[in-house]
Amino acid sequence: MSQARPFDPHIPVLTELFSDKGEALAEPAAESVPADQASAPAGADPEWAALERRLSDRIVQQLQGSVDIMLEHRLRESMEQVLRQAVGDITAELRRGLQDSLDAIVARAVAQELGALQQRQPPP
């Protein structure tokens, strides 16, 4: 159940390495890749460039999922901290505003009550 691999023209076949008489040939056939091209950058051969592009795309897709999860986790942590601070600040501001309002309402109610009491009593 092995998968058949496509023929690679850069790999010499047995008939290119040995002559019909069983003698080893001095040099591989002209189709084989010279040593200086074997280490050439991937952009030199269209097949290598396509392989590099497919491999890069696959790696990017695999990493994208991990990056998305990590980014979401860090964003959630940052937002949680920012929201906690904002809620704390808003709560403190509301308490101060409520306290100021209550103080003003109580002061006005006391002043009105004292004013009403003074109007009921005759001056001494």
Q: How confident is the model over 69-113, as pLDDT tens digits?
A: 899 999 999 999 999 999 999 999 999 999 999 999 999 999 999
- How many Cα neighbours within 13 Å face the side chain of 71? 6
DSSP 8-state code for residue 30: T
**What is this structure's pTM?**
0.40
d(CA 89, CA 73) in angstroms, rounded, equals 24
d(CA 25, CA 12) in angstroms, rounded, equals 12
Q: What pLDDT sits at residue 114?
A: 93
What letter represents residue 63's amino acid?
L
